[in-house]
Amino acid sequence: MVTKKLTFIVFGVLVILSFVLTSAGAETLEERLAINEQSIKQYPNSRADLRVEKAEILIGLKRYVEALYASDGASYLDPDFADAYSVKSRALYGLQRYDHALNAINKALELRPGHESDMLVRETILKAMGK
């Protein structure tokens, strides 16, 4: 149980750090989310990467249901975008929907076999499932 929590905390810290380092001056995840949502308004029917970014920010805010919707939007716009399924798996993990999280990360790995961080996410999900 401690390992599962620690691994999930590490994922959260990595997501937050990535946005802190690349957030173009935004000081909080809420500010970064507002910037992201403005970008999405400019490109409402394209730019799956913006929806993935939104999902990652929402995961950092522990708003997993919203992150799931954002990741679904990304995979709708680009069904072959592995990042959409990877972030979806992390949102589902946050919701403790491990079977669905495993399906999502397996789809990401199907699209980009051997991707190191996806393999780590998959391992974490399997541990949470007791496998």
Mean pLDDT of 50-67: 97
- What pLDDT score was predicted for residue 90? 98
Tell me the per-residue pLDDT of 87-123, one tens digit each, with 9 for 90 and over.
999 999 999 999 999 999 999 999 999 999 999 999 9
Question: CA–CA separation, 98 vs 81, rounded Å?
Answer: 21
Using a CB cutoff of 8 Å and minimum separation of 24, what contacts does 53-57 make?
A: 55/87, 55/88, 55/91, 56/15, 56/18, 56/19, 56/87, 56/90, 57/15, 57/19, 57/29, 57/32, 57/33
Confidence of residue 45 (pLDDT cuts 50, 70, 90): confident
> Considering the chain, what is the average pLDDT of its residues?
87
For the cut 80, the answer to whether the pLDDT of residue 18 exceeds it is: no
Confidence of residue 21 (pLDDT cuts 50, 70, 90): very low
- What pLDDT score was predicted for residue 43? 86
Classify domain 2-128 at the CATH class level.
mainly alpha
Question: CA–CA separation, 4 vs 126, rounded Å?
Answer: 10
Tokens 């919707």 appear where?
69
CB 88 within 8 A of CB 68: yes
- What pLDDT score was predicted for residue 17? 46
Give the pTM.
0.78
Show me where the domains of the chain are located.
2-128
CB 85 within 8 A of CB 108: yes
Question: CA–CA separation, 55 vs 74, rounded Å?
Answer: 9
For the cut 80, the answer to whether the pLDDT of residue 51 exceeds it is: yes
- Contacts of 101 by beta carbon, 8 Å cutoff, 6+ apart: 88, 89, 90, 92, 93, 125
